[in-house]
Amino acid sequence: IADAHYFIRPGTDALFLLALLNVMFEEGLSHPGPLEQRINGLDRIKEISKGFPPSRAAKATGLSEADIRAIAVEFASAQKAACYGRRGTSTQEFGSLATWLIDAVNVATGNVDRPGGVMFTTPAVDLVGLSKILRQPGYFNRWKSRVSGLPEFNGEFPAAVFAEEIETPGPGQIRALVTNAGNPALSLPNTKRIDRALKSLEFMVAIDFYINETTRYADLILPPTSPLETDHYPLLEHAMAIRNVARYAPPVFQKPEGAKHNWEVMLDLLYRVEKHSGALSASVGWIKRKALYGLSPERQLNLLLKLGPHKLSLEKLKREPHGMDLGPLEPRLEKIICTRDGKINLVPPGLVKDLDRLEKRIEPWSAPPPDEFLLVSRRTLRSNNSWMHNSLRLVKGKPDCSLIISKTDAARLGLEKGRPVKLSTGIGEINVPVEITDDIMPGVVSMPFGWGHDREGVKLRVAREHPGVNVNEVTDENFYDQFSGISVLDGIPVKVAGS
């Protein structure tokens, strides 16, 4: 639905956003409006942006100075505007900077918490409001990973450290693993190393329906109830919706006798671990298990709905099988800011420091090697990660797993549509069918992830007949956003040649 599209060199979004801010401040187009009372650091953002004029960003991003200026002026002058980025701006070399600067652009132009700009939901289950009440606003970098020293985020480590935390001896080494519907053997960078790490585990439990690329290494596979035997309330989707809504979906079928939901399997596993840790742990574990079984997801949801801003209940939702319309989004920033002073800090020190790394990349971006392509990922309508390839209805027809390349580059390399090409990095190489189009930037290629179902021991009949190729055989687990540790999936330097 866009009326204009501009190709941008993958990974340079942060530089582009800084150039936009430069123009907005230089032209006097910054107008935060009522937000000014809720922010700290806008003057510092203005000072930072002075070092990134469009003339400096143009060659590196692939956008002209004129286009950068025009976009900045049009955005800042619009009565309603929203700068938005998601996976593509996040899973790249400077994903943290890009995410921060998207917010900075919206704040600088007054496009936060007002109709037509970026707004926040008031969902029936208000997780953000609840976190403010509980004083649990989220955490970052409280501790670091054992081997590479990457930061934790809300108790989780980046996937980039997965293999090394299994392989590296010493206190804290991972020797046992539980996976729950995950497929890290296909989804994480550097497949060969992930395979070696999984093979080396002393014990592994998989909660899954299938023997797939990951669960084939498991000592035990515990199948849970199917999605049609499970109720559903989309907490995250409601929290990110463009209108306040609530809908509860009861299970279509009752679960068979003896079957367990995922949460029941996890509780039982936890109890068994505690049972082998001594009599006291076993007794505490038994009491905990009984209490948590009593506090089922349905009961938790009912409690959260009653505590929420709309004062609903699960019974009310069940009487509305098509869901409830709770009204349009309304300004509510002051109710959800969790900082001590009630203001948004626009200049986190760690992100400001990371600008030094961005500075060093501008020159290499401006003069890339002539034989280098940048690989980006992509999503397709009939697929979701690695989960949906065992359905004939979703994999029949035109294959989704292909390498998209521009007509200009295909002609230069002598490539033919549908023929396999060699895609290589310092990690490895793969052969993948090529798709030629005008809809991609010259110098960029695109390939989806989650494919590669032809591995030994995989028992997915339909998926094995339509295996595709695993892009993570050429991705590098050591290529990540230095600030957050998030793996780079977009903007990976690769080489392409006819095979």
Calculate ∠ Cα 142-148-153, nearest 5°. 30
By C-alpha distance, which of 346, 330, 329 is closest to 38? Answer: 346
Domain with CATH 3.40.228.10 in the chain: 13-120+334-353
- Residues sharing a CB contact under 8 Å with residue 208, sequence separation 6 or more, in sequence order: 179, 180, 181, 215, 221, 222, 223
Per the prediction, the chain carries an average pLDDT of: 94
Q: List 374's β-bridge partners, or say none.
A: 444, 493
- CA distance from start to end of the chain: 37
Structure tokens at 6: 């501009």
- Range 382-408 average pLDDT: 92
pLDDT of residue 290: 78
232 DSSP assignment? B
Confidence of residue 274 (pLDDT cuts 50, 70, 90): confident
Give Dmax (Cα) for the chain.
73
The CATH classification number of 127-328 equals 3.40.50.740
Enumerate the CATH 2.40.40.20 domain ranges in the chain, comma separated: 368-498
Tell me the whole-structure pTM to 2 decimals: 0.93
Would you state the structure tokens that stand for residue 220, as one six-digit string? 């035990």
Mean pLDDT of 329-351: 91
Report d(CA 118, CA 106) in Å as an integer: 7
- What b/e sequence results for 272-288 when a residue is b if at least 16 CB atoms lie within 10 Å of its CB, and e otherwise? eebeeeeeeebeebeee
Rounded percentage of the chain residues whose pLDDT exceeds 70: 100
Contact assessment for residue 75 and residue 109, using Cβ atoms and an 8 Å cutoff: yes
pLDDT higher than 80, residue 125: yes
Provide the pLDDT confidence category of residue 130 given band limits of 50, 70 and 90.
Answer: confident
pLDDT in tens, 59-79: 999 999 999 999 999 999 999
Which pair of structure tokens corresponds to residue 47?
């000072």
CATH topology of domain 368-498: Barwin-like endoglucanases (2.40.40)
What are the start and end residues of each CATH 3.40.50.740 domain in the chain?
Answer: 127-328
Q: Does the pLDDT of residue 141 top 90, yes or no?
A: yes
How does residue 134 score in pLDDT terms, banded at 50, 70 and 90? confident
> Looking at residues 425-445, what average pLDDT do you find?
96
What are the tens digits of pLDDT across the range 361-391?
Answer: 999 999 999 899 999 999 888 888 888 999 9
Residues facing residue 421 across a β-bridge:
432, 498
> 291 vs 156, 257, 288, 295, 313, CA distance in Å?
26, 22, 5, 6, 22
Contact 210, 223 (CB under 8 A): no
Per-residue pLDDT, 281: 74
To the nearest 10 degrees (0 to 180), the angle between helices 349-366 and 13-26 is 110
What is the separation of C-alpha 125 from the centre of its chain, rounded to a whole number of angstroms? 22
Helix (H) or strand (E) holding 334: helix 333-336
Q: Count CB atoms within 10 A of the CB of residue 110.
A: 18
Per-residue confidence (pLDDT) for residue 288, from 0 to 100: 77
Report pLDDT digits (tens) over 1-21: 788 999 999 999 999 999 999
Mean pLDDT across the stretch 127-151? Answer: 90
pLDDT, tens digit (0-9, with 9 covering 90-100), for 227-257: 999 999 999 999 999 999 999 999 999 999 9
pLDDT at residue 94 in the model: 98
Query: Are 52 and 15 in contact, with CB atoms under 8 Å apart?
Result: yes
223 backbone dihedrals φ, ψ, rounded to 5°: -75, 125
In the predicted model, is pLDDT for residue 271 greater than 90? no
Task: Read off the pLDDT band of 440 (50, 70, 90).
Answer: very high
Percent of the chain's residues with pLDDT above 90: 85
Closest CA to 441 of 2, 10, 3: 10
CA gap 345, 348 in Å, rounded: 7
Confidence of residue 91 (pLDDT cuts 50, 70, 90): very high
Angle between helices 54-61 and 349-366 (to 10 degrees): 60
Q: How far apart (Å, rounded) are the C-alpha atoms in residues 14 and 56?
A: 13
**pLDDT value for 105:** 98
Can you tell me the distance from the alpha carbon of 203 to that of 178, in angstroms, rounded to the nearest whole number? 9
Q: What is the pLDDT at residue 160? A: 96
Q: How confident is the model at residue 275 (pLDDT cuts 50, 70, 90)?
A: confident
**Does residue 279 have a pLDDT over 80?**
no
Q: Which CATH number fits domain 13-120+334-353: 3.30.70.100, 3.30.720.110, 2.60.40.10, 3.40.228.10?
A: 3.40.228.10
